[in-house]
């Protein structure tokens, strides 16, 4: 049987599988066929191993036939960003320095997805070590936006966002350090969710900036985001920073809100004063605000006075952590090694050849801000501002339940359009504060811009406020200005 999979969600697939209208092998086959057709243009995947996919799908179908399905989602494929380890698979972070290395262990999220029977479906492209906002920093290939292949998909989880948007897979995992899930989701017209810091174990996520990194789902709708979060969140003994399990289901009762009466949505005045906020994006924000008002929500103005320092603060803290996190890639124990005579030369040549320009730039920046004599002026000050940014949000949540902002100041931009790194850094201006504050944020598609590209809105919730955040996102999704987000590819 031939089916059209490009718009299928996890929950719809689960019904089809349960009703025996489709098997996991058929489902995966349809995706693989579609991927084979589209990949030459989209290039979302670094690796798509059919053999591995079909052996998992086959095992899933056998479980289902014998009534031993591991969950309702047993057999549904999920693509994995190439910075999350799967035992026996490569995990390059789109960097030459990790070429040829197979991971000997599963990340905790992978272990959990396997326990639910999800099919691990290929590894998606990204900016090298998750450093970038366009996927252009991948050492291997440039992923295109399914809505306009002359445009970037956003980043760093650009491969994950593009693969879901193009209908090459049902859903994907991404990681978000300063907006790396939410920004590409917005630019590709899909949902991207970054839970509270520590909600989902980072064990097996190759670290960029440990105090900011968070794994999350990129999906076709909010319900799928809730389903994957349910499957992955909770305390992990391998991650000392993981939060205690709260034994709640985000998917259950997701659609229980009939309207938004009594819900207060905060509008940070600073967000709408940002230089470079595209007029069309602004218009979609206004239309979205109207949707919330029509649903009965109360719109309240809040202030995040320190958010203007967020990008600068981020590039101090994130690079400082990255400079240490990436120190282990030295060619001594694994990965690429450039052979030379001396130890120092080996380090220099290996790292010189293995890392791309943006990664080198950030390692240098991070090494500098931690150096003796500069530490207080940069790192200590950055941590202080970070605390102030967190306090801004705490203050705001006295007045509102969630905060509403744009995700990105513009729609997807063209390849090479932002050749100045600083211009690229500003693409994350609305998303970075969420990571610095450690709270949860989601990008939900809202409308399509006059230029034909999708635009999402961002809703930001307090610590552990996922349940309410997802419910509000879900009702918005049902009432948003545009119903369908299907790229013209």
Partner 1 sequence: MSKYDVVIGLEVHVQVRTDSKMFCSCPNRFGQEPNTMVCPVCMGLPGVMPYPNREAVRKTVMAGLMCGCEIAKFSKFDRKSYFYPDMPKNYQISQYDLPLCGKGKLHVCGKGFSGAELPDKSIGITRIHLEEDVGKLNHFAGYSGIDFNRAGVPLMEIVSEPDMSSADEAYAYLTSLKQIMQYADISDCDMEKGQMRCDVNISLKLAGAKEFGTKVEIKNLNSFRSAHRSIEHEIIRQAEVLDAGGKITQETRGWTDDRGETYLLRSKESAHDYRYFPEPDLLPMTFSDEDIAKIKSQLPELPEQKRERFVATLGLTPYDAQVLTLDKTLSDYFDEGAKLAKSPKMLANWIITELLRELNDRNIPFENNPVPVSHLVELVELVSGGTITGKSAKEVFSELFAGGKTPKQIVSEKGLVQISDDSAIEKFVITAIEQNPTQVKQYKEGKTAVMQFFVGQVMKQSKGKANPQIVNKLLREKLDQC
Could you confirm whether 381 is annotated as catalytic?
A: no
> How crowded is the C-beta side of 488, counted as CA atoms within 13 Å?
8
Whether the CB-CB separation of 152 and 415 falls below 8 Å is answered with: yes
Q: Does position 237 bind partner 1 by CB under 8 A?
A: yes
Size of the site for partner 1 (CB under 8 A): 44
Q: Output 172 or 207, the one with its CB closest to partner 1.
A: 207
Whether the CB-CB separation of 147 and 414 falls below 8 Å is answered with: no
Question: Least CB distance from residue 168 to partner 1, whole Å?
Answer: 25
Q: Output 113 or 260, the one with its CB closest to partner 1.
A: 113
CA 408 to chain centre: 14
Q: Output 235 or 261, the one with its CB closest to partner 1.
A: 235
3-state DSSP of 308-343:
HHHHHHHHHHHHHHHHHHHHHCCCCCCCCCCCCCCH
Q: Does position 244 bind partner 1 by CB under 8 A?
A: no
**Residue matched to tokens 């760093």:** 156
Q: Output 331 or 406, the one with its CB closest to partner 1.
A: 331
Q: Does position 93 bind partner 1 by CB under 8 A?
A: yes
Q: Does position 103 bind partner 1 by CB under 8 A?
A: yes
Q: Does position 202 bind partner 1 by CB under 8 A?
A: yes
Could you confirm whether 156 is annotated as catalytic?
A: yes
Collapse the DSSP code of 135 into the 3-class scheme (helix H, G, I; strand E, B; otherwise coil) and give the result.
coil
Question: Least CB distance from residue 307 to partner 1, whole Å?
Answer: 22
Question: Least CB distance from residue 236 to partner 1, whole Å?
Answer: 9
Q: Which of 435, 390, 401, 389 is nearest to 181 (CA)?
A: 435
Q: Does position 332 bind partner 1 by CB under 8 A?
A: yes
Could you confirm whether 180 is annotated as catalytic?
A: yes
> How crowded is the C-beta side of 394, counted as CA atoms within 13 Å?
9
Question: Least CB distance from residue 334 to partner 1, whole Å?
Answer: 7
**Binding partner 1 by CB under 8 A: which of 370, 391, 421, 479?**
370
Q: Does position 235 bind partner 1 by CB under 8 A?
A: no
**Binding partner 1 by CB under 8 A: which of 141, 367, 468, 479?**
367
What phi, psi does 277 have (nearest 5°)? -75, 115
Whether the CB-CB separation of 118 and 78 falls below 8 Å is answered with: yes
Q: Output 60 or 103, the one with its CB closest to partner 1.
A: 103
Question: For the chain, how are helix, strand and coil distributed in percent, rounded to 5?
Answer: 40, 15, 45
The DSSP element (H or E) to which 171 belongs, if any, is: strand 171-176
Q: Output 334 or 415, the one with its CB closest to partner 1.
A: 334
The single residue of 23, 24, 43, 81 carrying the catalytic annotation is: 81
Could you tell me where the beta strands, DSSP code E, fall in 177-263? 191-194, 214-219
Rounded to an integer, what distance in angstroms lies between the CA atom of residue 163 and that of residue 121?
11
**Binding partner 1 by CB under 8 A: which of 52, 278, 330, 349?**
330
Q: Does position 372 bind partner 1 by CB under 8 A?
A: yes
The DSSP element (H or E) to which 123 belongs, if any, is: strand 119-124
Rounded to an integer, what distance in angstroms lies between the CA atom of residue 60 and that of residue 8?
18
Whether the CB-CB separation of 196 and 241 falls below 8 Å is answered with: no
Q: Output 203 or 393, the one with its CB closest to partner 1.
A: 203
**Binding partner 1 by CB under 8 A: which of 140, 272, 375, 415?**
375
Q: Does position 216 bind partner 1 by CB under 8 A?
A: no
**Residue spans of alpha helices (H) in 235-330:** 279-294, 310-325
Question: Least CB distance from residue 337 to partner 1, whole Å?
Answer: 12
The footprint of partner 1 (CB under 8 A) covers: 83-85, 91, 93, 98, 101, 103-105, 107, 202-207, 209-211, 237-241, 320-321, 323-324, 327-330, 332-334, 343, 347, 367, 370-372, 375, 379
The catalytic site residues sit at: 81, 156, 180
């Amino acid at each position: 049987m031939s089916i059209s999979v490009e718009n299928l969600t996890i929950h719809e697939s689960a019904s089809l599988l349960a009703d025996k209208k489709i098997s996991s092998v058929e489902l995966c086959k349809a995706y693989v066929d579609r991927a084979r057709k589209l990949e030459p243009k989209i290039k979302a995947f670094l690796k798509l191993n059919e053999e591995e996919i079909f052996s998992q799908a086959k095992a899933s179908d056998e479980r289902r036939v014998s009534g031993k399905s591991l969950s309702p989602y047993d057999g549904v494929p999920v693509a994995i960003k190439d910075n999350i380890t799967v035992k026996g698979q490569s995990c390059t972070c789109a960097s030459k320095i990790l070429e040829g290395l197979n991971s000997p262990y599963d990340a905790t999220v992978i272990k959990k997805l396997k326990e639910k029977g999800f099919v691990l479906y290929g590894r998606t492209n990204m900016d090298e070590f998750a450093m970038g906002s366009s996927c252009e920093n991948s050492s291997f290939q440039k992923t295109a936006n399914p809505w306009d292949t002359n445009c970037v998909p956003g980043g760093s989880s650009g491969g994950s966002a593009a693969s879901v948007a193009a209908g090459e897979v049902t859903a994907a995992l991404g990681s978000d350090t300063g907006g790396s899930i939410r920004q590409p989701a917005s630019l590709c017209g899909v949902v991207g969710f970054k839970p509270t810091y520590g909600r989902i174990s980072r064990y097996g996520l190759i670290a960029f900036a440990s105090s900011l990194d968070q794994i999350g789902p990129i999906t076709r709708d909010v319900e799928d985001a809730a389903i994957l979060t349910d499957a992955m969140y909770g305390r992990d003994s391998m991650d000392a920073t993981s939060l205690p399990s709260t034994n709640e289901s985000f998917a259950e009762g997701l659609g229980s809100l009939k309207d938004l009466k009594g819900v207060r949505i905060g509008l940070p005045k600073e967000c709408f004063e940002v230089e470079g906020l595209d007029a069309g994006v602004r218009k979609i924000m206004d239309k979205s605000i109207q949707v919330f008002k029509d649903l009965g929500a109360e719109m309240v103005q809040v202030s995040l006075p320190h958010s203007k320092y967020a990008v600068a603060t981020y590039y101090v803290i994130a690079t400082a952590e990255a400079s240490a996190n990436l120190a282990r890639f030295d060619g001594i124990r694994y990965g690429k090694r450039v052979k030379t005579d001396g130890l120092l030369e080996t380090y220099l040549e290996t790292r010189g050849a293995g890392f791309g320009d943006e990664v080198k730039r950030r390692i240098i920046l991070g090494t500098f801000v931690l150096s003796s004599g500069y530490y207080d002026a940069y790192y200590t000050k950055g941590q202080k501002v970070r605390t102030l940014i967190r306090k801004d949000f705490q203050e705001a949540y006295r007045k509102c339940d969630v905060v509403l902002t744009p995700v990105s100041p513009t729609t997807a931009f063209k390849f090479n359009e932002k050749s100045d790194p600083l211009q690229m850094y500003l693409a994350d201006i609305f998303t970075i504060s969420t990571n610095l504050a450690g709270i949860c944020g989601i990008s939900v598609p809202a409308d399509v811009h006059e230029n034909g590209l999708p635009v999402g809105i961002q809703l930001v919730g307090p610590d552990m406020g996922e349940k309410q955040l997802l419910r509000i996102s879900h009702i918005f999704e049902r009432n948003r200005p545009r119903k369908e987000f299907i790229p013209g590819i």
